[in-house]
Structure 1
């Protein structure tokens, strides 16, 4: 029941989260904004349109949106978002989650290459570069948190943080929080790593890979991207601010955990959007330096978890 509930919550919340972040930016920039429901209206419009594939593309281009959406939906179902008790908790392993994230990234990168366009290849190469630096950092941050638990199971890590709040103020946890925050921004394609609201040829990463998509395929890509952002923010929130998550499958506990999760993700998303107003996109060759810094924080977090335990 908890897996179904949090999957429904994430599916409904994801486009609204994107709309909330856009609305926050609009208000801070002195614009009216389109409202937090605009992404859902855009998806409804796109799902009604016929997809068109570019000449010369193969099944890889057609299958990539489904793979990206499916991998993210699996994470949304098994990871501890609304509750730490679920029949699927055993699947919510750190290695499995990172592998699913990377599978979606690779599928979209291959689709960008499959189009044979200059923009698609450029975006794919940049995306793989970011992933090659970001994915190891996720593992390192997870290792730092799992050292005190003795398990890489995400539910066990979140439950330990919920029952032992003092562990969340340890040097290892704080270093891991910084490292994972940078990686979440990079994986979600947010400023200063990428700008989701522009199509400038020399700066785009994610948008370069999806320029050839249209109709239902584009809707699936946009939905999967919004869900991926929600999943990444949700993982960060529950790993480092786990309070309020349900620890039983009682209906009231599950509903309370889901409500608290929605509030926490909305607050973090709004803070991230507000911070983006004061940020400029980094030059492309500076992005690896930023991610290398997050990797260093991950190494320090792992070291601290063993030497300062």
Structure 2
């Protein structure tokens, strides 16, 4: 473990934690512009988190210690995931402790805890949201794992820094397998982060919401941590997509300080384009009925499996 690697690792985690709400603010602005509405302030997510942190929490009388613990577990899980996903560089000493498969396990752990907390109070909406969340996760995780396996066949590793470093070091070429995997990954990203067409992050209609139904009973600092963790999860997914499909611009291992300084504006440009693209997808899409969600995620899994088969048949997808 070198000093430069440790600094890169800490910068990756700190950057994810600090700018994840800003990424959400940018997406909200783009959605408002595309819908010809007045856009909210770019820093609105920070203001909401600060406001919630200064409020007193209201907790149900029958809430167990699990209910109080889950926001901290959820936020800690997303911070741990940020330590595995390369955002600025591939020299990440902490990432050696876990690969992309363990990363999917971290996301699953967060889902299980938030679902248990939603059912802990015993409200109808919380239980409904937990059931829907587990259904989405059950269908989305195999597709995400298949996407990772497709990239690992090309690069010979399941560690995201290794995959990003290998793909960035090769000359620019089209991988048919990664093209299928990229479409599947976008579909999984939308489902896992409660975005349209699976869920609408701006709605509070009880019969349609998934994520919001699970956190209705939270307030103050607990709700602030949950919203911050949700923003960090979306940021992590965006960086996973960059590592798998747009790895160029990451600072290589042992490259010194200059590539690291160059990687920051590159990451900002990627996030701006990804946020605008995500807002465009949500604007032109209609929310699916909850009973159509399995079909959407089944298509994502089939595309990911098709990419995996193309990679096997064509020899590493070339």
- The TM-score bracket by the shorter chain reads over 0.9
Aligned equivalent of 2:283: 277
Give the superposition deviation at 1:274: 2.2
- Between the aligned partners of 1:96 and 1:199, the Cα distance in structure 2 is 33
Aligned equivalent of 2:196: 191
Aligned equivalent of 2:89: 83
Give the superposition deviation at 1:3: 1.0
State the Cα deviation string for residues 130-153 of structure 1 (Å, max 9, x = none). 000111111111101101222111
Q: Where do residues 104-123 of structure 1 align in structure 2 (5 Å cutoff)?
A: 104-123=110-129
Q: Where do residues 87-106 of structure 1 align in structure 2 (5 Å cutoff)?
A: 87-106=93-112
Normalising by structure 2, we get a TM-score of: 0.94
Correspondence for 1:255 among 254, 261, 277: 261
Normalising by structure 1, we get a TM-score of: 0.97
Matching of residue 243 in structure 1 with residue 243 in structure 2 = no
Moved more, 149-158 or 96-105: 149-158
State the Cα deviation string for residues 162-212 of structure 1 (Å, max 9, x = none). 012445x21111111111110011111110010000011111000000000
- Between the aligned partners of 2:98 and 2:110, the Cα distance in structure 1 is 17
- Between the aligned partners of 2:234 and 2:228, the Cα distance in structure 1 is 10
- Between the aligned partners of 1:126 and 1:15, the Cα distance in structure 2 is 25
Question: RMSD over aligned Cα, in angstroms?
Answer: 1.2
Aligned equivalent of 1:225: 230
Give the superposition deviation at 1:51: 1.4
Correspondence for 1:300 among 302, 306, 310: 306
Correspondence for 2:134 among 125, 128, 135: 128
- Between the aligned partners of 1:240 and 1:118, the Cα distance in structure 2 is 41
Aligned equivalent of 1:154: 160
Correspondence for 2:179 among 169, 174, 189: 174
Contact 1:48 1:215 in 2 (8 A): yes
Matching of residue 53 in structure 1 with residue 59 in structure 2 = yes
- Between the aligned partners of 2:261 and 2:223, the Cα distance in structure 1 is 32
- Between the aligned partners of 2:47 and 2:88, the Cα distance in structure 1 is 26
- Between the aligned partners of 1:109 and 1:2, the Cα distance in structure 2 is 34
Give the superposition deviation at 1:18: 0.8
Q: Which runs of 5+ in 1 are unaligned?
A: none
- Between the aligned partners of 1:263 and 1:8, the Cα distance in structure 2 is 18
Give the superposition deviation at 1:92: 4.1
Contact 1:92 1:155 in 2 (8 A): no
Matching of residue 142 in structure 1 with residue 148 in structure 2 = yes
- Between the aligned partners of 2:154 and 2:160, the Cα distance in structure 1 is 13
Between the two proteins, the alignment pairs up a number of residues equal to 308
Q: Which runs of 5+ in 2 are unaligned?
A: 1-6
